Amino acid sequence: MVREDTSRTVPPVNPLRSLILAAARNGTIRRLVATAPVSRDVVRRFVAGETTADAVAVTRRLVDSGLTVTLDHLGEDTTDAALAEQTVQAYLELLDQLHAEGLSDRAEVSVKLSAVGQMFDEDLALANAKRICAAAEAAGTTVTLDMEDHTTTDSTLRILAELRRTWPWVGAVLQSYLHRTLDDVTALATSGSRVRLCKGAYKEPETVAFQDPIEVDKSYVRCANALLAGDGYPKFATHDPRLVRIIGERAEAHGRKPGSFEHQMLFGIRPDEQLRLAQLGHTVRVYVPYGGEWYGYLMRRMAERPANTAFFLRALASRS
Ligand SMILES: Cc1cc2nc3c(=O)[nH]c(=O)nc-3n(C[C@H](O)[C@H](O)[C@H](O)COP(=O)(O)OP(=O)(O)OC[C@H]3O[C@@H](n4cnc5c(N)ncnc54)[C@H](O)[C@@H]3O)c2cc1C
């Protein structure tokens, strides 16, 4: 995932977290981890690999096990048009391959607008997003625009509205930690609208975002109710067992059948739960990141949860 702030609003439960986040910013450690042979194995738990072929192979495996997929080409903040163009080309190649492999009815793509130019030229980001949407349409699949920090929310929703004039299936992401989100959810809970609801992954100031995890969860439930009550297609992105259970209960209360909404989780996180939900008949979409820029993404997954860090350290120890 691009430009997630590495110091997201999680409670201070992981004593290694600051260390890992410092390592994420340290160039020497980055080079060491990125080139260590063991990293490859650990990376493979959370990242599909570096190439389009890797991404397609993992997609095939997930699809064969009954899951659906959304693919994210990893990249850091893109600050020039040439890098933005590389990202666009990566998506075009991926969409082509998904179509050629007969996977495009079960796999879509997630795009971060910052990776296609939003940071320095909103018009360029829109033009690039249009090219990706056109390729997705030709491949027979869809696109979801990831949401980044709050300074980009208005721009992302503007671009979404523009894209949806031609491709009404373009999906949005809304973050329950933002105070504004119930209003955004209400505006987007309309027929044909695909909305992913997540807690939010960036460190945001209290002027715009709830800081208390309980408030973030309560907001998640309010927003989930509004999405389920509306006419759109909600996509509930969370690994939180309590929220997954509440979503199930609220979906039933709103008369939502499996297939009229979906659960989403990250590749490598709670894979058994992903399969359990799918076996109950739910649509479960796995967010699969791939690409050369996996280091920052991996470090953020490590920092989020002690168990992930332990897994990484065990893998390192077993090779020493
Ligand atoms: C498909 C998907 C797409 C996303 N897209 C975006 C986006 O566009 N923009 C954005 O800002 N953020 C995005 N996110 C990230 C999201 O905002 C959260 O930062 C992230 O999902 C962590 O929040 P959580 O709801 O999973 O629960 P957390 O609050 O992190 O955890 C709650 C509980 O979930 C369980 N849990 C969490 N992680 C694990 C684990 N590794 N193993 C086992 N149990 C675990 C634990 O019981 C934990 O107590 C996305 C997340 C997903 C799943």
With a 6 Å cutoff on the Cβ, whether 270 touches ligand 1 is: yes
Q: Pick from 262, 136, 122: which is nearest to 197 by CA?
A: 262
Quick one: DSSP state of residue 236?
E
Alpha-carbon gap, residue 231 to 243, rounded angstroms: 21
Identified catalytic residue from 8, 106, 194, 196: 196
For residue 10, what pLDDT band results from cuts at 50, 70 and 90? very low
Quick one: DSSP state of residue 269?
S
For residue 21, what pLDDT band results from cuts at 50, 70 and 90? low
Residue 44 Cα to ligand 1 middle (Å): 19
Residue 100 Cα to ligand 1 middle (Å): 32
User: 43-52, 136-145, 230-239: which range is least confident on average?
Assistant: 43-52
Asked if pLDDT for residue 296 goes beyond 90, the answer is no
Residue pair 164/204 in contact (Cβ under 8 Å)? The answer is no
Alpha-carbon gap, residue 243 to 264, rounded angstroms: 12
With a 6 Å cutoff on the Cβ, whether 284 touches ligand 1 is: no
The second-level CATH assignment, the architecture, of 67-290 is Alpha-Beta Barrel (3.20)
For residue 78, what pLDDT band results from cuts at 50, 70 and 90? confident
* Mean pLDDT computed over 7-36: 62
Asked if pLDDT for residue 13 goes beyond 50, the answer is no
CATH 3.20.20.220 in the chain is located at 67-290
Residue nearest to atom 53 of ligand 1 (CA): 265
pLDDT at 106: 98
Residue pair 288/72 in contact (Cβ under 8 Å)? The answer is yes
pLDDT at 16: 63
With a 6 Å cutoff on the Cβ, whether 265 touches ligand 1 is: yes
| Pocket-testing residue among 198, 277, 302, ligand 1, by greatest number of atoms within 8 A of Cβ | 198
With a 6 Å cutoff on the Cβ, whether 74 touches ligand 1 is: no
pTM, to two decimals: 0.92
With a 6 Å cutoff on the Cβ, whether 172 touches ligand 1 is: no
For residue 293, what pLDDT band results from cuts at 50, 70 and 90? confident
196 catalytic residue (yes or no): yes
- Percent of the chain scoring above 90 in pLDDT: 73
With a 6 Å cutoff on the Cβ, whether 147 touches ligand 1 is: yes
61 catalytic residue (yes or no): no
Q: How many CB atoms within 10 Å of residue 140?
A: 13
Residue 92 Cα to ligand 1 middle (Å): 28
246 or 10: which leads in pLDDT? 246
Query: Which tens digits make up the pLDDT trace of 150-165?
Result: 999 999 999 999 999 9
User: 73-77, 117-121, 176-180, 216-220: which range is least confident on average?
Assistant: 73-77
Residue 32 Cα to ligand 1 middle (Å): 27
Q: How many CB atoms within 10 Å of residue 82?
A: 8
Alpha carbon distances (Å) from 109 to 55, 249, 251, 257? 11, 29, 25, 25
Identified catalytic residue from 72, 146, 149, 217: 146
Residue 152, sorted as left (phi over 0), alpha (psi -120 to 50) or beta, turns out to be: alpha
Q: Pick from 260, 245, 113: which is nearest to 193 by CA?
A: 260
